[in-house]
Amino acid sequence: MFTRYDRKLWLNSLLMWAFIGLSFLGWLLPFLQAILIVMPGGIYYAIPPGWTGILLFYSQSRFQPELLYQLLMLLSPFAPTVARRFPVDSRRLRFSPRVTTLYIPALLLSALLIAYAANWVVSSFSLRNVVMFAPLIAVCMALGLRMLPTKAAMLIVLLLILHAPQNLRVQVENAPYRDFVQTMAPTYQNDSVVVTEFNGAWRWLLPAAYYFIDFTPDKMSKYRQFHLVEPRDSAHPPNYPDELVNIFKTFEAADFAGRLPAHEQLWHLTQGGGNALGTDFADWLNQHYALIRTQAWDEPYVTDYALSEYARVPDNQGPLLRAGEQLNLYAWTLEGSVEVAACQSLTVESWWRISAEVDESYSLSVILADGDGQRAIQNSIPADVFTTEWMTGRFYRDRTSLQMPCDLEEGRYNLLLAAKETLSGAALPLRYPDGSAIGNEVYLTTLQVSPG
């Protein structure tokens, strides 16, 4: 745009731009990574998103000595202006040398517009695609060097390639990794932990782990991620700049549980149907957690994933009571305080298991009562799953919310729990573990109700 057409000059500038862009800024690495490991349904970037990615790119793509690298970074945008002091054939330029210096902002603006337009066309526009900024500095450097004497230009290029960029961590921008976080978001808790079981960890694990670090609401630390990897597999190549931790190639329940931080929520992510570590982890999981929900993704020609949410079962010494013959209550908790106001709602969490498969659907009832009888009642299907579909040996968590009547008088009220057959409404008799009878309702706690 600023130079007259000269085939040799233009080709030399283009080649120098490519040479500097590929060596100095290292965008050959993400390109090769995309060629080597990209599959249908996934596009891999070699940098994490946002300012984190920019800083990581800067810290891991620097050259030696460090001072020279920083000097080159500072001077590169001003190379064309400095080059004006060297003899230049004015016949090469379309405009005066002073006007020609305007190519710096013009190039930056045009390159940005092209990059944004290209991302928009392929439906991948995102500020996280900071890799598009790599050619910008390369263009400035190349055109600046074009105006320098040949020997000076070659010396600078030689200095630029003294130290090649290190490996940058892989970042996956598109599905299904984005969907993982979107699935977690509605119920995500800041103390959550993630446990992964990947059939091909070396290929699929890193993008998922880094995506959790970058995009979960609290930027989940890698120290709250735990990875079950097959003995002959590898979580990532050696000497990666941001290596994962908590990698297990065998499962020992005591060791695994001892390394878990305090938490109430656990996410279990499997790829390719899980791995070959056996059923020890699944058995341990079912003994200490209740399955809340599962979301599955099947990427055609790539792989499949399943993400399950689990809630930790409160510590217990066995069942508190039995409803009927098979339904057992192990623990219950009341969210919030026993002091409530009229019109307010409260939630009771209860944890259940069945001792044998049942062919009858049961319901739970949370009841507010006083000396005159029931004042409010809320019926629900426990854990939102018909008990005919429950599995033995697995915990189920129920959350039932009870609305306080707005005309409720100030005073003390009993909170009760009951169980019944869903279709007939017949109450299930409640018994303690030793077999002694409780009745049709069990007392949980006393609520102090104040005016709304």
Predicted local distance difference test score (pLDDT) of residue 54? 52
Q: Where are the alpha helices (DSSP H) in 76-102?
A: 79-83, 97-100
Residue pair 169/244 in contact (Cβ under 8 Å)? The answer is no
* Residue 42 and residue 147 in one domain: yes
214 with 291, same domain: the answer is yes
Element (H, E) at 307: strand 304-312
Q: What number of CA atoms fall less than 13 Å from residue 109's CA on the CB side?
A: 5
Residues 181 and 306 placed together within one structural domain of the fold = yes
**pLDDT greater at residue 280 or residue 117:** 280
Beta strands in 314-434 (DSSP E): 321-323, 327-334, 339-341, 345-354, 362-370, 373-380, 396-403, 411-421, 430-431
Please state the separation of Cα 348 from the chain's center in Å.
29
Kindly state whether residues 51 and 158 are assigned to the same domain: yes
161 and 245 in one domain? Answer: no
Average pLDDT over residues 334-353: 94
Quote the mean pLDDT of the chain. 76
**Stretch 211-235: mean pLDDT, rounded?**
87
Residues 106 and 206 in one domain: no
Is position 244 within any domain?
yes
- Quick one: which of 232, 247, 252, 242 has its CA closest to 196? 247
Q: What is the DSSP letter of 36?
A: H
Mean pLDDT calculated for residue range 41-60: 49
Model confidence pLDDT, tens digit, residues 169-196: 444 444 477 788 889 999 999 999 999 9
Q: What is residue 179's predicted lDDT score, i.e. its pLDDT?
A: 83
Residue 276, pLDDT > 80, answer no
Q: What are the residues whose beta carbons fall under 8 Å from the beta carbon of 62, sequence distance 6 or more? A: 69, 70, 163
- Backbone dihedral angles phi then psi of residue 310, each to the nearest 5 degrees: -125, 150
Residues 16, 102, single domain; the answer is yes
pLDDT attached to residue 292: 95
- pLDDT tier at 274, thresholds 50, 70, 90: confident
Q: Which two tokens stand for residue 400?
A: 């039932």
Tell me, yes or no, whether 258 lies in a domain: yes
* % residues pLDDT > 90 (the chain): 43
Query: Which sign does the torsion angle of CA 126, 215, 290, 187 carry?
Result: negative
The model's confidence at residue 428, banded by pLDDT at 50, 70 and 90, is: very high
Domain co-membership, 34 together with 115: yes
Helical packing angle, 150-160 and 7-23, nearest 10°: 20
As a whole number, mean pLDDT of residues 305-330 equals 93
- The string of pLDDT tens digits covering residues 97-155 is 566 556 656 665 666 666 566 656 654 444 444 444 555 555 555 555 555 556 555 65
Q: Measured between alpha carbons, how far is 382 from 361 in angstroms, rounded to an integer?
A: 10
Torsion (CA) 70, 72, 73, 77 in degrees, nearest 10 = 150
SS3 content of the chain, % helix, strand, coil (to 5): 35, 25, 35
Domain boundary among 266, 293, 312: 312
Q: How many domains does the chain contain in total?
A: 3
Handedness of CA 201, 223, 218, 306 (dihedral sign): positive
Let me know whether 25 and 136 are in one domain. yes
Strands (E), 82-202: 171-172, 193-198
Range of the domain at 249: 175-312
Is residue 351 pLDDT above 60, yes or no?
yes
- Sequence-ordered list of residues with C-beta below 8 angstroms from that of 278, at least 6 positions apart, any chain: 251
- Kindly give the pairing relationship between strand 193-198 and strand 225-228: parallel
pLDDT at 333 exceeding the cut of 70: yes
* Residues 299-320, mean pLDDT to the nearest whole number: 85
Q: Is residue 1 part of a domain?
A: no
Side by side, the strands of the sheet bearing 304-312 are 247-248, 225-228, 193-198, 265-271, 304-312, 289-298
Question: What pTM value is reported for the model?
Answer: 0.65
Q: Which of these, 388, 331, 344, 332, lies nearest to 363 by C-alpha position?
A: 388
